[in-house]
A and B are shown apart, each in its own frame.
Chain A
Amino acid sequence: MSSFTIASIPREELLAPGHRMCQGCGAAIVMRHLLKALGKDVIIAHATGCVEVTTSLYPETAWRVPWIHVAFENAAAVASGIEAAVKAMKRKGLLSKEKRVKAVAIGGDGGTYDIGLQALSGMLERGHDVLYVLYDNEAYMNTGIQRSGGTPLYAWTTTTPVGKLWRGEWRRKKDIIGIVRAHGVSYAAAVNFAYITDFYAKVKKAAEIEGPAFIHAYSPCVPGWRHEPHLTVKIAKLAVQTGTWVNYEIERGTFRVTTPVPKRLPVEEYLRLQGRFAHLTKEEVDTVQRMVDEDVEYINRLAGTVVIGPVERKS
């Protein structure tokens, strides 16, 4: 691992305050540190989503780097165009050949799992030198908490309500990194800001690698997950400690878990802090636990060793 510590985080803020992201917004923390890790020499194409609407209320913007708002589905396509334009400018001598300008696409889970999947796939297939960042708050939060392909099992949303017949979302969350991995990309990683040095190491690595790279960032949502605003970081940490979220990277086909969890906490500790899981019965919590166990087993199989340990219950 690199010797990056919390003290090495640059002081300069590239995301200005005054944006309208919610109290305790997880995506705001993601964006702030993403920009710090990337630095100033980037051009961002941002799909429609929470962060896009709350940071660019005309005539003001919270971004201190070049930033383009694009439609819901084409962040990856526009970022591909930016990368091609930078190449063309270098060829024509309009930009120094040594100058490294990174094209970055940012999308939410709706703009990546569902609507932008085709553009993302095209970008990965063509092999553009673009970093795609997915901030995953697990539903369409900006338009009023509608479920997306990233919504986990049993989560309440306005389109998967809880009643006699429905118990919230009944489908499992898509394995987006698996989809990206299938394109044979050089680098794909899952990051969680509760482990901030790991976050920086991965974003920096993804930006330096030539060719398409993908970052999947965990991003708690106060109104959508129905949790207290001060618990954002605590929930992010619990996601890793319960094995619900695994920090890993796939670098040129090599799989590596970057945050090993020798003893897992029961998933209930993660679920009970969030109102979107408040309706869960004991059996349903057990089902979620079994699902997490299966996912952890899959991760351990990929890693070739037990990096995420068994659940340890406090008696």
Chain B
Amino acid sequence: MASLPGWRTLPPGAVILEPGSSVRYKTADWRTLRPVIDQEKCVRCRICWTYCPEPAILELEKPYTAKSGRTYRVTYEIDYDYCKGCGICAEECPVKAITMVEEVR
């Protein structure tokens, strides 16, 4: 906080010019429970991704082959920078592939 921008440098009307700039603010420290996805159990149904309020579940084009031999095109990963640990994903997961574990920092 060396120098705050003054009225001369701010855009008129204090308009925010950068869309989605809230990504600079990490909400990870709100979390007391951390969701962990078991990639073996996950069936890629997209429900956790759909109901994440942040969004803090990433849908990645990252192929994954389970031990059963089944290959999935996408992988779901938690974005721990933004996850607030609400636990909706673990509650809604139909195959119980997500567990909430205590956050240790």
A binding-site residues for B, Cβ under 8 Å: 6-7, 9, 11, 13, 15-26, 28-29, 32-33, 55-65, 193, 196, 222, 228-234
- Complex alpha-carbon distance, A196 and B48, angstroms: 13
Please, could you name 29 A-B residue pairs with CB atoms under 8 Å apart, sorted by A?
A6-B46, A7-B46, A9-B50, A13-B55, A16-B22, A17-B27, A17-B55, A17-B79, A17-B81, A18-B22, A20-B27, A23-B85, A23-B86, A28-B54, A32-B55, A33-B50, A55-B22, A56-B16, A59-B5, A60-B21, A60-B22, A61-B18, A61-B21, A61-B22, A62-B20, A63-B19, A229-B86, A231-B91, A232-B88
Beta-carbon contact of B22 and A19 below 8 Å: yes
- Complex alpha-carbon distance, A202 and B75, angstroms: 29
From residue 11 to 67 of chain B, which have CB atoms closer than 8 A to chain A? 14, 16, 18-27, 30, 45-47, 50-56, 59
Minimum CB distance partner of B47 in chain A: A6
Minimum CB distance partner of B25 in chain A: A18
- Complex alpha-carbon distance, A17 and B52, angstroms: 10
- Complex alpha-carbon distance, A16 and B27, angstroms: 12
Q: Is B92 an interface residue (CB 8 A)?
A: yes
- Complex alpha-carbon distance, A40 and B25, angstroms: 23
Q: Provided the pairs A17-B56, A28-B54 are in contact, do residues A23 and B22 lie with their beta carbons within 8 angstroms? A: no
Minimum CB distance partner of B32 in chain A: A23
**For residue B30, which residues in chain A have a CB less than 8 angstroms away from its CB?**
23
Beta-carbon contact of A24 and B53 below 8 Å: yes
**For residue A61, which residues in chain B have a CB less than 8 angstroms away from its CB?**
16, 18-22
**For residue A233, which residues in chain B have a CB less than 8 angstroms away from its CB?**
51, 88, 91-92
Summed over the interface, the residue pairs from A and B with CB atoms below 8 Å come to a total of: 111
Beta-carbon contact of B22 and A28 below 8 Å: no
Beta-carbon contact of A229 and B88 below 8 Å: yes
Beta-carbon contact of B50 and A196 below 8 Å: yes
- Complex alpha-carbon distance, A20 and B91, angstroms: 22
**For residue B53, which residues in chain A have a CB less than 8 angstroms away from its CB?**
21, 24-26, 28-29, 32, 232
Interface string of B82-100 (1 = CB under 8 A from A): 1011111011100000001
Minimum CB distance partner of A31 in chain B: B53
Report A7 CB to chain B, min CB distance, Å: 7
- Complex alpha-carbon distance, A274 and B6, angstroms: 46
Report B102 CB to chain A, min CB distance, Å: 15
**For residue B24, which residues in chain A have a CB less than 8 angstroms away from its CB?**
18, 60
**For residue A59, which residues in chain B have a CB less than 8 angstroms away from its CB?**
5, 14, 16, 21
Report B89 CB to chain A, min CB distance, Å: 9
| A-B residue pairs, 3 tightest by C-beta | A230-B87, A24-B86, A16-B20
- Complex alpha-carbon distance, A57 and B16, angstroms: 10
Report B2 CB to chain A, min CB distance, Å: 16
Report B100 CB to chain A, min CB distance, Å: 8
- Complex alpha-carbon distance, A37 and B3, angstroms: 41
Report B47 CB to chain A, min CB distance, Å: 7
- Complex alpha-carbon distance, A55 and B88, angstroms: 21
